[in-house]
Amino acid sequence: MIGKMKELNMGYKRNFVKFLLTSEALEFGDFTLKSGRKSPYMINTGRFDSGDSLSKLGCFYAKAIYEKMELGVIPKDISVIFGSAYKGIPLAAAASMAMSAAFDLDIGYCFNRKEAKDHGEGGLLVGRAPKPGGHVLVIDDVMTAGTALRETAAILAAQAPEAIIAGSVIAVDRMERGTGQLSAVAQTQYEMGFPVFSIVDMEETIAELKEIRGETETISLPTQEQIAAIERHLLTYSG
């Protein structure tokens, strides 16, 4: 884990875009999003399906989280990283492990069940339960309209009403409008009152894709036409 983090420290945003490409988590084609919009690309974190790729992904999340702690965007005393079922579960665990290994910060992780358990330990939450007054960081892959984050906030409000959501970290900010004229991230931040940040946003991703195309590396790169299609999509739907 430490070795992986050292590899990421230099230009971690570019390395993350390369990681998305080599893992085939950044897919190009014709996709219909949950919002109903057509998109020439998709971020599929389900591609991180091995111990090595999940470990690297955790390191990227940890790097972004620690950077925001150092900048004062989120508090340094985050006690729990919360991932909602199902995709958020491995993300929360991987980020928690990486924060311990790389930055010596022992942050718990927690996730919800889809249905409350009525036997054994019972309840809806699994892992380190958020404590009253404790700061919680919500983790997810991509934000399209902010619906998933609102649902997660509602779960936490019901199950741990005195815990404080200090922020949310996502892998990629698509930078698209939500239900209004603001981007989904900006609108969610305004409505919910806490920061939402990403490892990379799509403007950064596009810039890195163009730079990577100029490098001589064995990576399956998108064509110039595919990059141009992403730029047009962002121009159409940006908030």
State the catalytic residue, choosing from 6, 38, 76, 117: 117
Distance CA 223, CA 228 (A): 9
**Of the listed 119, 131, 210, 233, which one is catalytic?**
119
Give me the helix-helix angle, 51-71 and 88-103, nearest 10°: 70
Tally of CA atoms within 13 A in the half-sphere of 116 that contains its CB: 7
Look up 233 and say whether it is catalytic.
no
According to DSSP, the β-strands at 196-201 and 123-127 are: unpaired
Active-site residue flag, 117: yes
Residue 137 CA to chain centroid, in angstroms?
11
Among the listed residues 236, 238, 205, the one whose alpha carbon sits nearest the alpha carbon of residue 221: 205
Per the CB < 8 A criterion, the answer to whether 202 and 237 are in contact is: no
What is the Cα–Cα distance from 177 to 196, expressed in whole angstroms? Answer: 15
Catalytic annotation, residues: 117, 119
